[in-house]
Amino acid sequence: MTSLLVIIVLVLLAVALWQLTKIFDLTQVGSSSDDSQVASDNDNNIQGYIMFGFLAFIYIFTIYGLLKWGHLALHTPASEHGTLVDSLMNITWVLIFTVQVITQGLLYWFSFKYKGNKDKKALFFADSNKLEAIWSIIPSVVLAVLILYGLYAWNNIMFVDKDEDVIEIELYAQQFKWTARYAGPDNVLGKANVRLIEGINTLGVDMSDPNAQDDIVVSELHIPKGKKVHFKMRSQDVLHSAYFPHFRAQMNCVPGMVTEFAFVPTYTTAEYRELPFMVEKVSNINKLRAQKSADLVAKGGTALDPYTFDYLLLCNKICGASHYNMQMKVVVDSPADYKKWLSEKTSLAQDIKAAAAAEKPAEGTEVAKDSSIAKDTVKAVIDTVKAVVAKVAMK
C-alpha cells in the first residue's frame, strides 16, 4: 500500500513540475516569437551544465554501484574451468570500464564544452581517414585478443575427451523438477526414452538394456570434489536449462535429444561454506531474513528459517508457470563421502522390483483366481508393444 502512495506522490510531483513549466512559459509571453520553442543561448548554457552534471552522475553511480552491489556478483568459482572463465571475465571488465569511462567522459565533456551560442561558428571537420583508421584498427586488435582467448577457453570447456576418466550422470528435467541418474559401477548410462515411462520408472529407462541394470535414480545431486563429472541432459516435456551458477556451468535440456556439459568441482560444499566471502554473504542474508521474520511474526506469520549455503541447480529457460521454483540441491562431497553416499543408494532395477513386490500381494488377494494364462498373454502383448515402441524410439 505504501508503494501505491509513493506512486501517487510521484504522479503529483510530475503534475507539479508540469505546472511549473507552464508558469515558466507564461512568464515568457512577451517573447512568444516563432522560435520560442527552439533552444536559446540560455537553454544551451543550462543544458550544457546539466550535461556535465549527468556525467558526474554516471561516474558516481558507477562507483556507488561497485561499492554497494559489487559483492553481490558470483564470487570464487567452484569448478576448475570456472577460474578460466572468471579470468577472461575480469580482463573483459577492465576493458569495458576503461572504454566506458573514456567514451562517456568525452561525450558529455564535449557536450558541456561546446554548448552553443549565437556568436560561435562550429568547425567544419567532415572526415579524417587517419582517425577512422585508428578507431577501426584498435578495436580490431583488442577484439582479436578477446576472441582468441575466448575460443581457447570455449574449446577447453565444451569438448570432453573420449578417453577421459569421467563420472557419467544424467540430469533429467521435467516441469518443474530435476532428477539425476547415476551410471552405476559400469559407468555407462542405460538407454532411455520417454515412451518407456511407467510407474516408478519416471525417466523412461530401458530396463532391457544391460547397462541400465545398475543405474541409480536420485532427487538430490551429489558429486565428488576433484573428479570430472560429465552430465548428459534430457528433458521430457519442454525446454529447460540446467544452470549451476557457482560452477560457471549451464546447458539447455532439449526434448528429443541429449545435451552435455562437464566440469570438475574444486570445493566441497563444506569448504565453500567456509570461504570468507561466503561466510559474510550468508551472515548478511541471515540479517535480512531476521528482519523479514520479525515483520512476518508481527503480522502473525511464521518466521523464516535461517539460511545455510548450498550449491544449487536452477532452471534457467522459461518452462511454465512454476519455472521460478524448479531447483535441485547439489552437494559436493569428498571422494570418500561420495562413494559412501552412492553405495547406500539402491539401483533403479531394485527399486522397480521392490515396488512390484509391494504391489503384488495386494493384487494377489483380489485377483488370485484370474486365469494365469490370460494374465501372461496380456503381459506378453504389452512387452512386445513396448519393445517395438522402444526400437522405434531409439531410431
Partner 1 sequence: MSAEAHDHGHDHEHEHHHHKDTFITKYIFSIDHKMIAKQYLITGIIMGVIGIAMSLLFRMQLAWPEESFKIFNVLLGDKFAPDGVMANDIYLALVTIHGTIMVFFVLTAGLSGTFSNLLIPLQIGARDMASGFMNMISYWLFFLSAVIMLSSLFVEAGPASAGWTIYPPLSALPQAIPGSGTGMTLWLVSMAIFIASSLMGSLNYIVTVINLRTKGMSMTRLPLTIWTFFVTAIIGVISFPVLLSAALLLIFDRSFGTSFFLSDIYIAGEVLHYQGGSPVLFEHLFWFLGHPEVYIVILPAMGLVSEIMATNSRKPIFGYRAMIMSVLAIAFLSTIVWGHHMFLSGMNPFLGSVFTFTTLLIAIPSAVKAFNWITTLWKGNLQFNPAMLFSIGMVSTFITGGLTGIILGDSTLDINVHDTYFVIAHFHLVMGISALYGMFAGIYHWFPKMYGRMLNKNLGYIHFWVTAVCAYGVFFPMHFIGLAGLPRRYYTNTNFPLFDDLQNVNVLITMFALIGGAFQLVFLYNFFSSIFYGKKAVQNPWRSTTLEWTTPVEHIHGNWPGEIPHVYRWPYDYSNPNHDVDFVPQNVPMKEGEEVLHH
137-156 binders of partner 1 (CB under 8 A): 139-140, 143, 146-147, 150-151, 153-155
Residue 283 lies near partner 1 (rule: CB under 8 A): no
Q: How far is the CB of 339 from partner 1 (least distance, A)?
A: 28
| CB closer to partner 1 out of 48 and 224 | 48
**Cβ contacts of 384 within 8 Å, gap of 6 or more:** none
Residue 377 lies near partner 1 (rule: CB under 8 A): no
**Residue 115 has which C-alpha cell?**
554548448
Q: How far is the CB of 145 from partner 1 (least distance, A)?
A: 10
Distance of alpha carbon 81 from alpha carbon 72, whole angstroms: 21
Asked whether the CA dihedral 142, 144, 149, 153 is positive or negative, the reply is positive
| CB closer to partner 1 out of 184 and 328 | 328
Contact 115, 301 (CB under 8 A): no
| CB closer to partner 1 out of 58 and 218 | 58
Q: Which of 16, 24, 361, 368 binds partner 1 (CB under 8 A)?
A: 24
Q: Which of 327, 334, 341, 386 binds partner 1 (CB under 8 A)?
A: 327
Contact segment (CB under 8 A) with partner 1 among 2-10, 181-189, 348-356, 371-379 equals 2-10
Residue 296 lies near partner 1 (rule: CB under 8 A): no
- Entry field: residues in the chain: 395
Site string for partner 1, 174-193 (x = CB under 8 A): xx-----------------x
Q: Which of 19, 56, 61, 355 binds partner 1 (CB under 8 A)?
A: 61
Alpha-carbon 55 to chain mean position: 33
Q: In the window 195-224, what residues touch partner 1 (CB under 8 A)?
A: 195, 197, 204
Contact segment (CB under 8 A) with partner 1 among 42-50, 217-225, 352-360, 372-380 equals 42-50
- Among all chains, which residue has been given the C-alpha cell 554548448? 115
Distance of alpha carbon 86 from alpha carbon 75, whole angstroms: 9
| CB closer to partner 1 out of 270 and 312 | 312
Distance of alpha carbon 86 from alpha carbon 253, whole angstroms: 24
Is the preceding peptide bond at 57 cis, omega within 30 degrees of 0? no
DSSP labels, 220-235: SEEEETTS-EEEEEEE
Distance of alpha carbon 194 from alpha carbon 172, whole angstroms: 11
Q: Which of 213, 259, 293, 347 binds partner 1 (CB under 8 A)?
A: 259
3-class DSSP assignment, residue 116 = coil
CA angle 223, 187, 201 (to 5 degrees): 85
Q: How far is the CB of 189 from partner 1 (least distance, A)?
A: 16
